[in-house]
């Protein structure tokens, strides 16, 4: 094991740039999939007959596919039909599709967990369906969704490492490049990368705890 | 003039007929108590009056809105017909004050100040002015139900529907809620009340509707006479069981 050789400034800086890519991919995918997931979840919840059933069908398909397959599809498959992405965009595309489907189910079940009496009261009070959703059901459902949403985000941050396979220069891929030079770097680099993923995800769950407490008060 | 008018109304869930051939006219300002055994269709009948339950047969007109027409704008009707539920259903994510001001602000487009002033007056009327900034979960059942009545009144409705408003309450709390309902009754409000409170039905009501198996068996404009001796044997049997113990 060569700790000092593994932890040179050049290597650390190289990994840091990888972390930056991991964070960018994660944040952009989280924002996009939250928007699409919420919209799809609300459509599922609303039971707009055929539309909801169709969304449910798509969501079920995506949820039951391996993420790696979706990643391959967006990077290798889509160019076959003339849609070309950079590595970065292909990764975001794949993660957004997969996470949107996962989040749609979380949104749907969170909304369905809100007591039906709340909807009846709001509708009887003269609010429209959308107003009821906006002021009453969604805010109450959101409280119930925070924990599962955050564990989904944590999965996403970890899953970004799969994009190594399409050579996205993220934290994981750069780690491979470094220990590829010298196997004595392997364990020190693994430990450093593991610690980095841990810190990022742990901060995310602390933040979630903070939001959860704020919402409950 | 009748505010609520049922003509040969029926409602079924699959094979089960929840309402059968209902004919009923309720006039502006009337206090109508609907009584009867569990599963007799009382709540279903009440819930058709603001479209929470759809009807399958006949015609139902509430405040000039034809609820048998699928194209009716139900939100317009609900502005004018309030509802108070057995389990209160206050908005859990809103304070007491927000519970009362939400619909006036959003639906009636009142400005916040005006809505809050009106809400404070209503809170004073139901005796809960000091609870304005609490959340529903911090209040007792009886207090929550009084807030629910205030929330309905804030829309300045023509009628309020009460679905067993005291059934989920501790006995000690019932009196406070009934007092508020009596006060509302004194303001010339049309009230339709599904209830097991026979005292309220007799003292405050103008009219008794007795239901069983989805039908109106007796419709009396003289509650005191009804409670002395109902005409229908089924109603006699019901009352002897309810009042007899």
User: Mean pLDDT by 10-residue block, N- to C-terminus, for chain B (245 residues)?
Assistant: 93 93 95 94 96 94 92 92 97 96 96 97 96 96 96 96 94 92 93 94 93 95 93 93 73
What residues in B contact A123, CB-CB < 8 Å? 52, 78
Select from A115, A125, A140 the Cβ nearest to the Cβ of B103: A125
Distance CA B122, CA B96 (A): 11
Segments in chain A forming alpha helices (H): 3-6, 9-46, 49-63, 67-72, 78-80, 87-112, 116-124, 129-132, 138-159, 171-181, 186-216
What pLDDT is recorded for position B70?
86
A117·B91 Cβ contact <8 A = no
Sign of CA dihedral B116, B118, B124, B125: negative
How far B148 CA lies from chain A's nearest CA (Å)?
Answer: 9
How far A138 CA lies from chain B's nearest CA (Å)?
Answer: 10
Q: What residues make up the domain containing A173? A: 3-216
What pLDDT is recorded for position A125?
95
Distance CA A101, CA A60 (A): 8
Q: Give the pLDDT band (50/70/90) at residue A215.
A: confident
Number of structural domains (chain A) is 1
A126·B93 Cβ contact <8 A = no
Q: What mean pLDDT is predicted for residues A96-104?
A: 97
Say yes or no to pLDDT of A48 above 80: no
Distance CA A37, CA A42 (A): 8
Distance CA B101, CA B105 (A): 6
Quick one: closest CA in A to B148, which residue? A121
Using a CB–CB cutoff of 8 Å, tell me whether A128 touches chain B.
yes
User: Which one, of B185, B138, B187, lies nearest residue B165 by Cα?
Assistant: B185
B82·A124 Cβ contact <8 A = yes
User: Which one, of B56, B99, B58, B109, lies nearest residue B79 by Cα?
Assistant: B109
The angle at the Cα of B63, spanning B57 to B65, to the nearest 5 degrees, equals 50
Using a CB–CB cutoff of 8 Å, tell me whether A134 touches chain B.
no
What pLDDT is recorded for position B182?
94
Give CA separation, B193 vs A18, A64, A114, B221, B232, in Å. Answer: 67, 51, 27, 15, 21
What pLDDT is recorded for position B243?
76
A125·B155 Cβ contact <8 A = yes
A and B: number of Cβ contacts within 8 A:
63
ipTM of the complex: 0.92
Select from A118, A128, A143 the Cβ nearest to the Cβ of B75: A128
What pLDDT is recorded for position A217?
64
Using a CB–CB cutoff of 8 Å, tell me whether B137 touches chain A.
no
A120·B52 Cβ contact <8 A = yes
Supply the CATH number for residue A103's domain.
1.10.3720.10
How far B103 CA lies from chain A's nearest CA (Å)?
Answer: 6
How far B89 CA lies from chain A's nearest CA (Å)?
Answer: 6
Using a CB–CB cutoff of 8 Å, tell me whether B125 touches chain A.
no
What pLDDT is recorded for position A150?
92
How far A65 CA lies from chain B's nearest CA (Å)?
Answer: 37
Select from A123, A126, A128 the Cβ nearest to the Cβ of B155: A126
For chain A, give the percent of residues with pLDDT over 90.
84
What pLDDT is recorded for position B245?
55
């Amino acid at each position: 094991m060569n700790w000092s050789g593994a932890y040179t400034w050049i290597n650390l800086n190289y990994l840091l740039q990888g972390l930056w890519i991991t964070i960018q991919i994660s944040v952009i995918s989280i924002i996009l999939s939250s928007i699409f997931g919420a919209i799809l979840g609300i459509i599922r919840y609303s039971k707009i007959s055929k539309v909801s059933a169709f969304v449910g069908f798509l969501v079920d398909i995506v949820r039951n596919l391996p993420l790696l397959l979706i990643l391959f599809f967006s990077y290798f498959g889509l160019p076959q039909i003339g849609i070309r992405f950079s590595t970065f965009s292909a990764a975001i595309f794949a993660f957004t599709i997969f996470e949107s489907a996962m989040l749609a189910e979380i949104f749907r079940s969170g909304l369905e967990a809100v007591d039906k009496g709340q909807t009846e009261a709001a509708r009887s009070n003269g609010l429209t369906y959308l107003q009821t959703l906006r002021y009453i059901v969604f805010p109450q459902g959101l409280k119930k969704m925070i924990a599962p949403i955050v564990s989904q985000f944590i999965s996403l941050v970890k899953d970004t490492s799969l994009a190594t396979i399409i050579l996205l220069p993220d934290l994981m891929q750069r780690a491979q490049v470094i220990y590829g030079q010298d196997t004595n770097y392997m364990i020190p680099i693994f430990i450093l990368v593991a610690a980095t993923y841990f810190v990022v995800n742990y901060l995310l769950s602390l933040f979630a705890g903070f939001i959860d407490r704020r919402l409950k008060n | 003039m009748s505010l609520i008018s049922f003509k040969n109304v029926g409602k079924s869930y699959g094979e089960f007929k929840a309402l059968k051939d209902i004919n009923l006219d309720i006039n502006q300002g009337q206090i109508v108590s609907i009584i009867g055994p569990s599963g007799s269709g009382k709540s279903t009948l009440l819930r058709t009056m603001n479209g929470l339950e759809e009807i399958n047969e006949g015609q139902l007109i509430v405040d000039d809105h034809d609820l048998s027409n699928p194209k009716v704008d139900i939100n317009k009707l609900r502005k004018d017909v309030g509802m108070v539920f057995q389990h209160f259903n206050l908005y859990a994510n809103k304070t007491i004050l927000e519970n009362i001001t939400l619909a006036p602000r959003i639906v009636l487009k009142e400005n916040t100040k005006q809505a809050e002033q009106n809400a404070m007056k209503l809170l004073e009327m139901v005796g809960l002015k000091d609870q304005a900034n609490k959340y529903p979960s911090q209040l007792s059942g009886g207090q929550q139900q009084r807030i629910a009545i205030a929330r309905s009144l804030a829309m300045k409705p023509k009628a309020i529907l009460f679905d067993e408003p005291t059934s989920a309450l501790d006995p000690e709390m019932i009196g406070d809620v009934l007092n508020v309902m009596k006060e509302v009754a004194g303001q010339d409000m049309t009230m339709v009340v599904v209830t097991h409170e026979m005292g309220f039905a007799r003292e405050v009501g103008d009219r008794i509707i007795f239901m069983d198996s989805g039908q109106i068996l007796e419709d009396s404009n003289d509650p005191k006479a009804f409670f002395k001796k109902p005409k229908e044997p089924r109603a006699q049997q019901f009352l002897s069981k309810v009042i007899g113990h």
